[in-house]
Amino acid sequence: MGEHTVLVTGATGGIGEAVAYQLASDGYHLQLHYNLNREKALEIQRTIIDKFDVDVQILQADLSTSAGPYHLLEQLTPKPSILVHSAGLAHHALFQDVSSEDYERMIQLHVTSPFILTQKLLPSLLSRKWGRIIFITSIWAATGAANESLYAMAKGGMTSLMKSLALELGPSGITVNAVAPGAIDTSMNHVLSEEERIEISSQIPIGRFGTADEVAHSVAFLLHAKSAYITGQTLQINGGWHM
């Protein structure tokens, strides 16, 4: 594992951070992307370097802008052999209230930037005849979500891209999969009231919110050598909610 470098976008988010620690413990070298939270990125970098014998770079880029993916690509040395597209942003609004600015930002962040990053890094993966690409999507990509139509649509776009790439890249030794979290106890869901959390938990067969570590474990599973026959799949990490 140590010979592989992983790019994790959105590494200062709850799931991205958990993925970074999990993969560091598994011996991968890391390129951790962040946008605004440099102090958090530095903290994660310091902690990982102190605990694990791996290289850790932190890289800033705003992937919600058209220039963002190109700015990130300029910083990627060496080129990663594993891509974990974890950068994301929640969006809650009635469909008729979605602004053009929100639309452009969400599609850029969740679809266009992952598309560009993958496309530009693909020659390096093809030259190795090996690579792993993982998209962090959402339960809403499969079910839809009232008041989150833009977010659900963007994550659905990631899912369609994942499936298409899996078909195209399988012959080249590159697997492409997705991890679709349900209700996970991260800052994205801290806007919920205690009553709302109780109501949601009551709908989940496991009876609780998931943890970021549980999502990170699924990423590590897909990267394991014994998972090389899994491609084009979405792991639903949702406690049985909305099967």
pLDDT at 192: 73
Cα 238 from Cα 243, distance rounded (Å): 9
- The ranges assigned to domains in the chain are 5-237
Contact present, 175 and 133 (Cβ < 8 Å): yes
Q: How far apart are the first and last CA of the chain?
A: 33
Q: Could you read off the pLDDT tens digit of each residue along the chain, which spans 243 residues? A: 557 999 999 999 999 999 999 999 999 999 999 999 999 999 999 999 999 999 999 999 999 999 999 999 999 999 999 999 999 988 888 999 999 999 999 999 999 999 999 999 999 999 999 999 999 999 988 888 888 899 999 999 999 999 999 999 999 999 999 999 988 887 666 667 788 788 888 888 899 998 999 999 999 999 999 999 999 999 999 999 887
Cα 85 from Cα 68, distance rounded (Å): 14
pLDDT at 234: 97
pLDDT at 186: 76
pLDDT at 194: 81
In degrees, rounded to 5, the angle at the alpha carbon of residue 223 between the alpha carbons of residues 221 and 224 is 65
Catalytic residues: 151
pLDDT at 202: 84
**Structure tokens belonging to residue 225:** 């050598």
pLDDT at 190: 66
The fold for domain 5-237 equals Rossmann fold (3.40.50)
Do the bridges between strand 234-237 and strand 131-136 make them parallel or antiparallel, or are there none, so unpaired? Answer: unpaired
